[in-house]
Amino acid sequence: MTVNTFHVAPGGKLSGSIRVPGDKSISHRSIMLGSLAEGVTEVSGFLEGEDALATLQAFRDMGVQIEGPEGGRVIIHGVGMKGLKSPEKPLDMGNSGTSVRLLSGLLAGHGVDVTLVGDSSLSKRPMRRVTTPLSEMGAVVESNEKGTLPLHIKPTAPLKGINYTMPMASAQVKSCLLLAGLYAEGDTCVTEPAPTRDHTERMLQAFGYDVRRDGNRVCLTGGGRLVASNIEVPADISSATFFMVGASIAPGSDIVLEHVGINPTRIGVINILKAMGAHIDVLNKRQVGGEPVADIRVRYAELKGIDIPLDQVPLAIDEFPALFVAAACAKGTTVLRGAEELRVKESDRIQVMADGLQILGIDAEPTPDGMVIQGGQIGGGTVESHEDHRISMSFVIAALRASGNITINDCSNVNTSFPSFVSLAAGSGIKIVTIQRV
């Protein structure tokens, strides 16, 4: 196995116009729903990262004919709602929590016998948040005694729709239950404590399935069908975030990020950066395949510390590692609360980011559900990514304002979400070198 280490020299600025890869969340869902649809679905802008490719391979292993990806283009020959076959071996989801949680719902009522496995990081992530409500629907989804992978999904009698109130805002849990609801008798309704990304609901509607919203409650009725649709995947705002933060903190920066998805359930990072004083212009707004997109221009600005509004936390949950770097460069104190979800991502992102920022000389105090960061001068040093792609990329961005070299260990998992990160970062003005060892 090849292990990547990033070495990043201090300073630099970001400039030019770039398009980051396709949205990971939408790429996953395009494969899942396209496989269950009747007819041929063509996807453009598909993210050819390891996570989305793991989802694609899983459906191939369950008998779906999929052409590509080639240049972001994928052609899916749908097998219909009940057309998947039990695979001959466990489905390896690599590092992708989205794949496991959504597939556990989608397959729970399908009548197949499937085991889902993953890498060492994914195998530590909690799965009871999906297996418990799925069992209430009548699904048989077995985990190990710790409530983690592997998950064994067994054929069962038809599922029953439920009304489920989520204890914690999570788009993955909501999507899991809605996908299970496709195979349930009656209505399945999910109520979330705060809005989360709604890509599943939007894409179900794009494939012709009726989804009903009432505030924070989403319902659908089982037993329907999906009809093939062409999907254009916008650029991923989570990937664009690293360049938004980088341009905001590096003097002289002026960068345009093209064709970025600005789904209202995903724009917390823009709102938070603007509240900190960032100079961000959202240009050329348009609709593509049911999803809003825009070009985003970001110029350097002096940021100030803020108390991050609680209502923005679920809208930026994947972007906080990079936002912690913005806070480290801001004048004053930034306080994050209500983000305990960060502790059960690919790593404990609260603790890992606090540890790294402290190594680089920043006063960063972790709390059970967030962090308190005093802005200051980022220094040089060696930090651990804990094999978390967003941690790795966040510390690369930090080097733009560092006083010394930053070395980031175990960066191979950047390929799960952003395989072209290093080349785009270097082309935009970041002084990054990758060291590989076997």
Question: Known catalytic residues?
Answer: 318
| Contact partners, residue 86, CB within 8 Å, separation at least 6 | 62, 112, 113, 114
382 phi/psi in degrees, rounded to 5: -110, 125
- The Cβ-side half-sphere exposure at 344, using a 13 Å CA radius, reads 17
Distance of CA 201 to the CA centre of its chain: 16
The DSSP code for 71 is T
- Cα separation of 387 and 216, whole Å? 34
- Cα separation of 285 and 13, whole Å? 26
- Return the structure tokens found at 119: 């890498």
214 phi/psi in degrees, rounded to 5: -145, 95
3-state secondary structure of 351: helix
Cβ burial, residue 145 (10 Å; 0-12/13-18/19+): exposed
Dihedral of alpha carbons 125, 131, 132, 133, sign: positive
CB 180 within 8 A of CB 189: no
Strand partners, 335: 307, 372
SS3 content of the chain, % helix, strand, coil (to 5): 35, 30, 35
Cα torsion through 59, 60, 66, 67, rounded to 10: 140
Q: Which long-range contacts (CB under 8 A, 24 or more apart) does 218-221 make?
A: 218/174, 218/178, 218/189, 218/190, 218/191, 218/192, 219/187, 219/188, 219/189, 219/190, 220/178, 220/181, 220/182, 220/187, 220/188, 221/161, 221/181, 221/186, 221/187, 221/188
Buried b (16+ CB within 10 A) or exposed e, 34-50: bbbbbeebbbbbbbbbb
Q: What's at 227, amino acid-wise? A: V
Indicate the angle between helix axes 24-36 and 199-206, nearest 10 degrees: 40
Q: What's at 93, amino acid-wise? A: M
| Contact partners, residue 144, CB within 8 Å, separation at least 6 | 150
Conformational region of residue 268, where left means phi above 0, alpha means psi within -120 to 50, and beta covers everything else: alpha
